[in-house]
Structure 1
Amino acid sequence: MKETNNKTVLIAMTGGIESTVSAYLLKKQGYKCIGIGLQLFLEGEETGPFCDVAVLDLNKIKNICNYLDIPFYAVNAVDIFAYHVLDPLVGRVLSGHTFEPLVFLNRVLLEVMIEKSKKFQTNLIATAHYAKVLKNQKTGSFELMVANDLENDQSYSLAGLSQKHLQNLILPLSEIRKKEVEKISELIKVEFIPRIKTKYKHIMHDPRMIDLVEARSSTDLRRLGSIYDYASDNSLCEHQGIHRYYVGQSNLVFDKKTELQIDPLKEIISIVPFKGNIFIDFPNRLKYQNVLIGQFQASANLDMSLALSCFAKISPKGEKASCRLYFKNNKQVLVVFDEERQGLLIPGQFVVFYTRQGIKGKVIGAGLVEVAGVFDEYGYNTLPPKTVELDEENENETNKKNKQIERLGF
């Protein structure tokens, strides 16, 4: 925690328990707090699953700030949010890839607050994330660390921040567990804005994402096509747009016209956007051990001259898996996991790398998946091998493989 001396700090307010308690604690420590709330959507605009994240009624936050006796300012961040989060998100969906919107939303939040802080002649900003920022006394750089409360650690979602963001960032909840935060909140007699708990593992899997994509894209970009069985290459049924599906999706609906039931144990393993083709297979046939990461953002003073052993985290709530990094040119990193892993890493997936698994783990870098699979002499074997029998006409095997490759978009 930085020294106070009655300094002014801008704190991001969402109306939830965490941000309210954060402001409460900062005031107790002698800071002069100014609440900031972001408007991310215009009134009446389609929000999709972001209605659970964005605060649509900023007056509720203002009431909380009034109770805490701190000023509140609403900031219009509609354009910057659309440019850095919504537009890339829609592009990824229409490309059959994935996206980590909350990582980029946090970057937008910090950018807006840094710009706003200049008007209040301060450089201190605060958020209610469960994570730590520590200054390296030898180098003077700032390092992102995991929170004491590992179960609720949010360092993954902050791993896209740079030194510009970290150097003046205060995280009041870094040393506190969520249960303690909830106890402190009982002392604050306000009506908090509840956070809806979703049943979906990832915001990109929320069906409301379909409405958001349709509202922000033209019809011709939402390709129609067919669903294929990957192993047999048989067409199973038609679908009504690739934006309605995502890689890893299972329990697909059957085609009502043909009454053909899609095997519920199979899941989508590939989406080819320009052809509108979707392929399904059994997930236990999917494996990866090698991952090419692009747009790698290294922590300050990271030695990238040699290979590095570390731990990779591929989702906000995922486990950390041991791996080795081989640094390449153009902000690319080759990741080799110590053991072959079951599943499929999707292009666009955000991956964060740590020095260790538990307490005192430090973020050493993060980037986006470009391609993943098992590396062999021919390159990345992203999808499982096929078992295809020749048909009654004994079609030439080479021609059949060429057709499969063409359909997969390679």
Structure 2
Amino acid sequence: MSDTVNLLNSLGFAKTPAETRVVVAMSGGVDSSVVAAQLKSEGYDVVGVTLQLYDHGAALARKGACCAGRDIHDARAVADRMGFPHYVLDYESRFRESVIDDFADQYLAGATPVPCVRCNQSVKFRDLLSTARELGADCLATGHYVRRVEGAHGPQLHRAADPARDQSYFLFATTPEQLAYVRFPLGGVATKAETRAMAAAHGLPVADKADSQDICFVPGGRYADVIEKLRPGAAEPGEIVDLEGRVLGTHPGVIHYTVGQRRGLGVGGGAPLHVVRLEPRARRVVVGPRAALGVSRLAVGEVNWLGDGPFERAPDGGWRVAVRVRSTRPPAPARVLPTGPASAEVVLAEPEEGVAPGQACVFYADGRVLGGGWIARRDAD
């Protein structure tokens, strides 16, 4: 199960499991529950922690979202069955400031944010990690499908053994210091079916629980509804224009559209049109043919580098890597040309479609995560 092993301790510590305290981040789902149960069965000193990230009462009615009220109950039930302490921490204000407000502000600016990355980057791997240290834990363990591998220069982040479950895209912002402290015991598990079998073997009540699908605070995937609630009056009507600026129609608000969108534009006739870019200040949605979606150059900022050697000391021609510009896309060949200590230009070998500011661009080499950054600009936008 573990991604790091030595003779005494499956988590890589030079002491027995009983002498090793592990805080497990428990969302209430099957993955983190299995991590906690398995580590407890191996003899570790396990402490389960579940984060209350938004209104507990409202969360009870939400299905398909992580960290909801039912999930807190399920996490506690797993802890009771396995016999380890479980705590619920109120992180609502931190989550709103670091994740929800950032999501709303980026969306209003015409970006396509990835709040799950921000949550891992701030609330989980910053705030929760700090809490784990305060509890005297040797490490923080999560149910993410990603592997932590000891390399010549320290811990490395690698894609999961199961490509279909790999979550490395959402963890690119993990810093080297955080990576030294965090463990991902499910990274080497072959399939989700194997995880569920482990849950059943431990008699966990969540063995058959469905996976979360939506962003936890966006039930049903209705982004615009959330933005309008957070920022009343944000949905101002405007024009839908083509690439030459000709007005083709009107829209009820830029927040209802995303780059690459084809359906629901309300303009017809001729070849299918897609959203090419959003211009929130002008309240314009720019549309064009599918060919206009192709992007070959990106500017990225807030780069987190996990490779060997300083990021800015790239070889001639830049870092030759594979990049993912969306979580659902396979890594594609590219060159990363540093333009500063935490910024770069990414040159793709082949154009990618549906790329938008606010998305993450993650760098890989042979399955290892070398880091990544946030897309600030595409081509000449």
TM-score by length of 2: 0.86
| CA displacement at 1:238 relative to structure 2 | 2.2
Say whether residues 1:337 and 2:348 are aligned partners: yes
- Distance in 2 separating the partners of 1:161 and 1:262: 47
Query: How much has 1:264 moved relative to structure 2?
Result: 8.2
State how far apart, in whole Å, the 2-side matches of 1:331 and 1:89 are.
21
Partner residue in 1 for 2:8: none
Aligned to 1:288: 295
In the other structure, the counterpart of 2:9 is none
Distance in 2 (CA, whole Å) between partners of 1:362 and 1:155 is 9
- Which residue, 282, 291, 297 being the options, matches 2:304? 297
Aligned-residue offset at 1:236: 2.7
Structure 1 equivalent of residue 210 of structure 2: 194
Consecutive unaligned residues of structure 2, counting only runs of 5 or more, are 5-11
Does residue 165 (structure 1) correspond to residue 172 (structure 2)? The answer is no
Q: What amino acid maps onto 1:285 in structure 2?
A: A
SS for the counterpart of 1:151 is: coil
Q: 1:87 to 1:211 in 2, by over 3 A?
A: same
Structure 1 window deviating more from structure 2 (319-328 vs 281-290): it is 281-290
For the pair 1:94 / 2:108, whether they are aligned, the reply is yes
Q: Could you tell me how far 1:49 is from its partner in structure 2?
A: 9.0
Among 365, 368, 378, the residue aligned to 1:372: 378
Question: What amino acid is aligned across from residue 288 of structure 2 in structure 1?
Answer: D
Q: Which structure has the larger Rg over C-alpha atoms? A: 1
Q: Distance in 1 between matches of 2:149 and 2:339?
A: 28
Listed as ranges, the matches of 1:127-138 within 5 Å are 127-136=142-151, 138=152
Matched, 1:313 2:295: no
Local SS of the residue matching 1:186: helix
What secondary structure sits across from 1:328 in the alignment? strand
Report what 1:352 is aligned to. 362
Following the alignment from structure 1 to structure 2, what is the Cα–Cα distance between the partners of residues 264 and 211? 30
1:67 Cα deviation (Å)? Answer: 0.9
Map 1:85-124 to 2 at 5 A: 85-107=99-121, 108-124=123-139
Seen in structure 2, the aligned counterparts of structure 1 residues 102 and 336 have a Cα distance that, compared at 3 Å, is same
8 Å CA contact 2:29–2:66 kept in 1: the answer is no
In structure 2, what residue type is equivalent to 1:194?
A
SS of 2:69's equivalent in the other structure is: coil
What's the offset of the Cα at 1:135? Answer: 2.5
Distance 2:86 2:322 in 1: 40
Change (3 A) 1:205 1:277: farther
Distance 1:64 1:120, change over 3 A: same
Tell me whether 1:226 sits opposite 2:224 in the alignment. no
- Residue 324 (1) aligns with residue 335 (2): yes
Note the alpha carbon deviations across 1:114-166, whole angstroms, 9 max, x for none.
22223322231100111111233x43x32111121122111111111112211
User: Residue 12 of structure 1 corresponds to which residue in structure 2?
Assistant: 25
CA–CA distance in structure 2, aligned partners of residues 46 and 247 of structure 1: 30
After superposition, what is the alpha-carbon deviation per residue over 1:158-183, rounded to whole angstroms, capped at 9, x for unaligned? Answer: 11111221111111112112221122
Report the CA distance between 1:195 and its aligned residue. 2.4
Alpha-carbon offset, residue 100 of structure 1: 1.0
1:249 counterpart residue number? 261
Distance 1:101 1:263 in 2: 36
Point out where structure 1 has 5 or more consecutive residues left out of the alignment.
Answer: 255-259, 374-379, 383-410
CA deviations on 1:45-98 (whole Å, 9 max, x unpaired) are 689999613322322321121011111100111111111111111011111111
| 1:238 and 2:246 are equivalent in the alignment | no
1:276 and 1:318 map into 2 onto residues whose CA distance is 29
C-alpha distance in structure 1 between counterparts of 2:161 and 2:116, whole Å? 21
Residues 63 and 219, structure 2, Cα contact 8 Å, conserved in 1:
no
Identical-pair percentage = 22
TM-score of the two chains, using structure 1 as the length reference: 0.80
Q: Give the whole-Å Cα distance in 1 for the aligned partners of 2:213 and 2:131.
A: 31
- Cα distance change of structure 1 residues 204 and 168 upon mapping to structure 2, 3 Å threshold: same
State the distance in 2 between where 1:71 and 1:47 align.
23
In 2: Cα distance, 1:368 partner to 1:163 partner = 18
Residue aligning to 1:394: none
1:311 deviation in Å? Answer: 0.6
| Residue 279 (structure 1) aligns with | 286
Q: Is the 8 A contact 2:31 2:195 kept in 1?
A: yes
CA–CA separation in structure 2 for the residues paired with 1:287 and 1:80: 37
RMSD (CA atoms): 2.7
How many matched pairs?
A: 359
Displacement, 1:11?
0.3
What is the distance in 2 between the residues matched to 1:205 and 1:239? Answer: 24
Superposed CA deviations along residues 318-350 of structure 1, whole A, max 9, x for unmatched, are 1111111111125211111223x1424211110
**The one of 146, 162, 167 aligned to 2:159:** 146
Quick one: structure 1 residues 162 and 240, their matched pair in 2 at CA, closer, same or farther if it must change by over 3 Å? same
Residue type of the partner of 2:361? Answer: V
Question: Structure 1 48/94 Cα, relative in aligned 2: closer, same or farther at 3 Å?
Answer: farther
Matched-pair contact (CA < 8 Å) for 2:108–2:280 = yes
Determine helix, strand or coil for the equivalent of 1:274.
coil
